[in-house]
Structure 1
Amino acid sequence: MRQLVSSPTLTDKVSKMICQDILTGELQPGQKLVVADLKEKYNVGASPIREALALLSWSKYVILEPQKGCWVAPVCKKELNDLYESLRVISSVLLKKAILAGDENWELEVLTSYHKLSRLHFNETFCWKEWEDKHHQFHASLLEGADSKNMFEFFTDLINQIKRYRFYAMQTLNSTQDDLFNIQEHEMIMKLVLAKNSEEASELLDKHLLNTMQRIENILEIA
């Protein structure tokens, strides 16, 4: 008898729902993920749940251990430091290459992505997911001009893992959200990049990433 397999579209949909619940804290770091519970929560069968959990284990959002079970990946200082150390190295290399090789279209994308980010304000209408999307796009736009496919894919993988920590920090900060990401830092990075000031731009980007890591680290220590 041929085994029934859920459609890739359904698996992807379930994966995104679980991912979003991990980011928003609906599913907490370290929480055990039971297929029966998730079936009821998302109103789907066991196959797409299992396939979605396997996908999320590849992106390191969940820990999957055969015969033992599955858990939301925990957050810890050691992993945070390792992720940011790698991100700082790859970002510096890519930014310098982008400033050297980037054309007018790249410069326009950097300016546009910064403008979209700067229009968001930390007030009663603030949407963290919207900020995260635009924040990601700004950092990606800085480095895309390097035209280094493999390094940029590594950067994207790191950013996606770090996203869990940024969401976790924002949930913990609540009313002091503006303390975590300073728009003035992004503006200065953008101006230095467009001025082709490679050394100062890379130094400020590195400082920005280090400061962000330290802020999240402080939150992990008090949470």
Structure 2
Amino acid sequence: MSSPTLTDKVSKFIRHDILTGQLRPGQKLVVAELKDKYNVGASPIREALVQLSWSKYVKLEPQKGSWVASVCQDELKDLFDSLRVVSSVLLQKAIESGDEHWELDVLTSFHKLSRLDNPKTDEDWSEWEERHLQFHKSLLEGANSKTMMSFFNDLINQIKRYRYFAITRMNENEELYNLEQHEKLMKAALAKDTKAAAEVLETHLTRSLTVIKKSIDAA
């Protein structure tokens, strides 16, 4: 059994290369090739691939091998349909029960997001995605619902692969970068305007879905 720390590191390397497109959707993952690529033994490679299959970044087939998970419109739609449901419920609950600590977290996460203006490089986009995710988490964590937040995090983790797919393949990514939309969402939530916040969130999710769908069609 290899070191869990080494396995985790290898898992992060492979996940990064999947997100950035160095390992493409549907690509066969050959252990011997990955050993050379990451300069580690076969055992941590195999264990990392199992870990990544749990988060659906990798598809495993016994006796056949491993592949980078493919992207498809049906899965994308299902993920966003699910995200709409859980995030809308969490948003409503957060607005109803969010306290001053929640308000401060939302303000802080939006401020950090706004500091990264107009991302252009791969590094900028990676940082934008992390700050974007933290903004949404801060907004919804006020709901104090561990079960639904766990479901939300699982969905976001899978959608992240699709967002990166769009970012790394499209010439124009401005629709995935929309600070004004996030500011409207923040202001509506802090103003306890549930209806307005829900409408902004729906618009945001719909636009994101449309951009990613186009990237899949163009691939």
Same fold at TM > 0.5: yes
Which AA in structure 2 matches 1:134?
R
Distance 2:106 2:22 in 1: 34
Counterparts of 1:141 and 1:94, CA distance in 2: 11
Instruction: Report what 1:116 is aligned to.
Output: 112
Contact 2:28–2:68 at 8 Å: present in 1 too?
Answer: yes
CA distance in 2, matches of 1:144, 1:96: 11
Contact 2:19–2:165 (CA under 8 A) maintained in structure 1: yes
TM value normalised by structure 1:
0.95
Of 178-187 and 61-70, more deviation after overlay is shown by 178-187
- Please list every run of 5 or more consecutive structure 2 residues that lacks an aligned counterpart in the other structure: none
Q: Give TM-score, length-normalised by structure 2.
A: 0.97
How many angstroms does 1:89 deviate by?
0.4
User: In the alignment, what sits opposite 1:205?
Assistant: 201
Q: Does 1:100 align with 2:96?
A: yes
Q: Is the 8 A contact 1:95 1:146 kept in 2?
A: yes
Q: Could you tell me how far 1:61 is from its partner in structure 2?
A: 0.1
Q: What residue in structure 1 maps to residue 127 of structure 2?
A: 130
Amino acid at match of 1:10: L
Is the 1:14–1:52 Cα contact (8 Å) retained in structure 2? yes
Instruction: Quote the RMSD (CA, aligned, Å).
Output: 1.1
Identity, % of aligned pairs? 64
Residue of structure 2 in register with 1:165 after alignment: 162
Measure how far apart 1:179 and its partner are. 2.7
Look up the SS of the partner of 2:173 in the other structure.
helix
Separation in 1, partners of 2:90, 2:164 = 25
1:149 is aligned, of 135, 146, 150, to 146
Letter in 2 for 1:179: E
1:217 and 2:213 aligned: yes
Unaligned runs of 5+ in 1: none
Paired residues of 2:119 and 2:128 also in contact (CA < 8 A): no
Partner residue, 2:65: 69
Opposite residue 215 of structure 2, the aligned amino acid is I
Judging changes above 3 Å, is the alpha-carbon distance between structure 1 residues 193 and 74 closer, same or farther for their aligned structure 2 residues? same
CA deviation digits over 1:115-163, x for unaligned, max 9? 1111112255661110110000001111000000010000000000000
The residue identity in structure 2 corresponding to 1:153 is: S
> What one-letter code is carried by the residue in structure 2 that aligns with 1:203?
E
Name the SS of the counterpart of 1:63 in structure 2.
Answer: strand
Report if the CA contact (8 A) 1:31-1:72 is conserved. Answer: yes
One-letter amino acid of the counterpart of residue 165, structure 1? Y
Partner of 1:185: 181
Q: Aligned residue pairs: how many? A: 218
Indicate conservation of the 8 Å contact 1:181/1:212, yes or no: no
* 8 Å Cα contact 1:122-1:177 kept in structure 2: no
Measured in 1, the distance between the counterparts of 2:146 and 2:177 equals: 27
Q: Does residue 8 of structure 1 match 2:4?
A: yes
Aligned counterparts of 1:192 and 1:60: Cα–Cα separation in 2: 34
Aligned to 1:26: 22
Q: Which one-letter code corresponds to 2:211 in the other structure?
A: R
